Amino acid sequence: MPEITYIEAIRQGLFEVMRAHPDVVLYGEDVGAFGGAFKATLGLQKEFGKERVFDTPICESAMLGVAIGMATQGLRPIVELQFADFITTALHQLLNNAGTLHYRTGVPVPMVIRAPCGGGFSGGPFHSEELEAIFCHMPGIKVVYPAFPCDARNLLHTAVMDNSPVVFLENKYLYRHIKEAIPAKHDPLPFGKARICRNGRDATVITYGAMVNETLHAARDLIDDTGYDITVVDLRSLKPYDKDTIMAAVASTNRVLIVHEAWHTCGFGAEIAAHIAENAFHLLDAPVRRLTAPDCPVPFAPVLEERYRPNSAKIVSALVDLIEY
């Protein structure tokens, strides 16, 4: 099987779900002939026509509002945001309308919001933010964040067929930096099922998105340099998340580091840390640690962004401190 990039896997998944399900429509800013800001939708309008793949004005609130209407009338819309940061202008539609409609009326709201996010390319604020904690805090919303091409394609199928609003986070750094051989046909992948990327004995890292690959790099360096062996858990799905896999990993190593690219205070790692403290405190040989971005806007300058984002070297250092606690 040939290897394909993360962005190619998403494009493949979009073609597959639109061929299989005539009720799926896709729209967003420049997704038609231009193929989207990152070319994830290239060729879709040519195959499916302008009635199913079309451009929109720059108005995220309207984009989500229209999706809610479509979803309640028998369609399964996929909305592409150019950058996840811009969804903040549409939080009312997401939180108070999409997230509560099924609860209030009994009418399902099957819609997917594809949201490119994350840094690593000097995008600065407005184009690099990680907002998953905000989405996970909203009742009625599901949130997924794949780290590998195969998972991205498979979770896209799951998201489109789910009857709840789904925020589908795509790390922009992964788009063309990660390749993987994937099967010709997608395998069903349910929400709330984490992936054990490697097993180790000395500590567990719980992570997702671009930080999965940074952690795997760190784990290789760590075992070569120190002999410490690390378990790496890729959550894949943040809401719901896989509590059973987390508990099993905690029990097997008794030390936990949570790594994510988002801000520290009230980041999603705090939810994982709280769950472990409430349910597995007796298993811990050291406090649960978090390695995150600091509580400041995403820097534009490359040297500052490098200081801002977690990376493999920082993960190695944090793991050594944790293991030698």
Instruction: Please list, in sequence order, all residues whose beta carbon lies within 8 angstroms of the beta carbon of residue 185, skipping any fewer than 6 positions away.
Output: none
Q: Which parts of the chain fold into alpha helices (H)? A: 6-20, 44-48, 60-71, 91-92, 99-105, 132-136, 149-161, 210-225, 243-253, 268-280, 302-308, 312-323
127 assigned to active site: yes
Q: Is the dihedral of CA 200, 203, 205, 206 positive or negative?
A: positive
Helical (H) or strand (E) element with 306: helix 302-308
Cα–Cα distance between 143 and 87 in angstroms, integer? Answer: 14
Cα–Cα distance between 3 and 18 in angstroms, integer? Answer: 23
Cα–Cα distance between 39 and 54 in angstroms, integer? Answer: 14
Q: Which of 102, 127, 157, 186 is catalytic?
A: 127
Q: What phi, psi does 145 have (nearest 5°)?
A: -150, 80
Which of 62, 157, 74, 154 has the alpha carbon at shortest distance from 112? 157
Cα–Cα distance between 130 and 239 in angstroms, integer? Answer: 15
Which of 101, 121, 228, 109 has the alpha carbon at shortest distance from 173? 121
CB 173, CB 210: distance < 8 Å? yes
CB 19, CB 13: distance < 8 Å? no
Catalytic residues: 127
